[in-house]
Amino acid sequence: MIASPVIQTSPNPIQVEPDLRLKDILKTLPKACFQKNRQKAWMSVFINVGMVALGYISIAIAPWFLLPIAWIFTGTALTGFFVLGHDCGHRSFAKRRWVNDLVGHIMFLPLIYPFHCWRILHNKHHAYTNKMDVDNAWQPARPHDYDNYPSIWLRGYQVMRGRMWWLASIIHWAGLHFDRSQFAPKDRQKATFSMLVVIGFAAIAFPLLIATTGLWGFVKFWLIPWLVYHFWMSTFTLVHHTAPDIAFQEPSEWNAAQAQLAGTVHCEYPAWVEFLCHHINVHIPHHLSTAIPSYNLRMAHESLKQNWSSYLHESCFSWQLMKEITDHCHIYDEKDGYVSFRDYHR
């Protein structure tokens, strides 16, 4: 039985007209939003590499009491590497596929993220955003599924949806992206290649880092910035698609325009985070079309505000926002919306 949640999901979440199609929305966006700019793309790479280098220099020279600042800066800059690889995965970085694949693999290397594995699985998320039982990015548990989770799965889900949400990206990374069974036979060769690339990189880079800086050097220069990166990955992913008044849809009722326009969150983060992460949190236009490069997302969002503002879900990052999500958006029922672990009774 489901008790009333502390934060009640809107009984009538924002709904688009049933006959509204994605192409109707996309027609209202300026054509410039979809245009690739080689100079902007490569400038983003050069600036991001510079920021990561600056971060590692700061870790090397910072006194112990300033290390947390250096770690946070470096991990956030590494998140920018992921966003650039993310553009490559959507083929919105360069016109040539081989350039996208090469840059994507390089950007993902220090994150030990297999590029093709992520690209293939992530495209499924875009194709079926907020579609229950199909979307593979952090969809909430149904009451029936939650009731039947084995104890270890139950505890893991409670961890990922509670105050330790920042671990969820690590679980997602390890649990899906190195498992060949997740991929169709036609994709397994590319997936295996990307796995071998990052495993080979780690097999060389990690022992070399430990040999030259010691075990503490490995923790100091790689592990902690990598954990900061996963903090942002977990946070961005959760916030992009979770709010008390955002509905997940049953497969039989799923509507692409509803999911991509009204089911995705635009969230403003501090300016330095937006800069280092290439404004990926301007997320609604990205879900309407993955062909929009990251440097054009704000242009696209301004257009959406002019034409579709009543359907947009906008917020600002704060610890209160994370508290609201991680305290209440736990189990999702088609009729009653979200209910917290605390208020759910089996």
Q: Please write the tens of the pLDDT for every residue from 287-311.
A: 999 999 999 999 999 999 999 998 8
Please say if the pLDDT value at position 75 is more than 90. yes
Q: pLDDT grade, residue 213 (50/70/90)?
A: very high
| Run of H or E including 315 | strand 313-316
Give residue 268's pLDDT band: very low, low, confident or very high (50, 70, 90): very high
Letter for the amino acid at 39? Answer: Q
Q: In the chain, how many H helices and how many E strands?
A: 15, 4
Whether residue 196 is predicted with pLDDT greater than 70 in this model: the reply is yes
What pLDDT score does 11 carry? 42
Residue with tokens 């079309």: 289
The per-residue DSSP string of 266-315 comes to EEE--HHHHHHTTTTT-HHHHHH-TTS-GGGHHHHHHHHHHHHGGG-EEE
User: How far apart (Å, rounded) are the C-alpha atoms in residues 118 and 332?
Assistant: 26
DSSP 8-class letter at 262: I
13-22, 260-269, 271-280: least confidently modelled range:
13-22
Looking at residues 196-202, what average pLDDT do you find? 98
Q: What SS3 class is residue 74?
A: helix
**What is the reported pLDDT for 287?**
94
Orientation of helix 97-108 relative to helix 115-127, angle to 10°: 110
Q: Which residues contact 224 (CB under 8 A, 6 or more apart)?
A: 71, 75
Q: What distance in Å separates the CA atoms of residue 329 and residue 301, rounded to the nearest whole number? A: 26
pTM (two decimals) = 0.92
> For the chain, what percent of residues have pLDDT higher than 90?
71
Q: What is the mean pLDDT of residues 46-50?
A: 98
Residue that is written with structure tokens 């910072």 in the block = 62
| Confidence check: pLDDT of 135 > 90 | no
Residue-wise pLDDT for 220-237, tens only, equals 999 999 999 999 999 999
Asked if the model's pLDDT at residue 8 lies above 50, the reply is no
Confidence of residue 39 (pLDDT cuts 50, 70, 90): very high
Write the pLDDT tens digit of every residue in 138-181. Answer: 788 999 999 999 999 899 899 889 999 999 999 999 989 999 99
Residue 197, pLDDT above cutoff 70: yes
pLDDT at 105: 98
pLDDT at 346: 63
Taking the C-alpha atoms of residue 90 and residue 34, their distance in angstroms, rounded to an integer, is 12
Q: Which tokens in the block code for residue 72?
A: 């946070």
Alpha-helical regions (H) of the chain: 22-26, 38-61, 67-89, 97-108, 115-127, 143-147, 151-161, 168-176, 188-218, 224-241, 256-257, 271-276, 283-288, 297-308, 319-328
Q: What is the pLDDT of residue 15?
A: 72
Tokens representing 148 are: 């039947």
In this prediction, residue 64 carries a pLDDT of 96
Q: CA-CA distance, 14 to 229, in Å (whole number)?
A: 32
From the CB of residue 30, how many other CB atoms can be counted at a distance below 10 Å? 12
Q: What is the pLDDT of residue 13?
A: 65
CA-CA distance, 209 to 206, in Å (whole number)? 5
Report, as an integer, the average pLDDT of 103-107: 98
| Cβ neighbours around 200 below 10 Å, total | 11
Amino acid at site 157: Y
Q: Which of 12-21, 260-269, 279-288 has the lowest mean pLDDT?
A: 12-21
In this predicted structure, the answer to whether residue 18 has a pLDDT above a threshold of 80 is: no
DSSP assignments along 153-200, one per residue: HHHHHHHHHTTTGGGHHHHHHHHHTT-GGGS-GGGHHHHHHHHHHHHH
CA gap 78, 70 in Å, rounded: 12
How long is the chain?
346
Residue 5 pLDDT greater than 60, yes or no: no
Domain residues of the chain, as ranges? 22-339
pLDDT at 289: 95
What percentage of the chain exceeds 70 in pLDDT?
Answer: 96
Locate tokens 């893991």: which residue? 156
Taking the C-alpha atoms of residue 278 and residue 48, their distance in angstroms, rounded to an integer, is 9
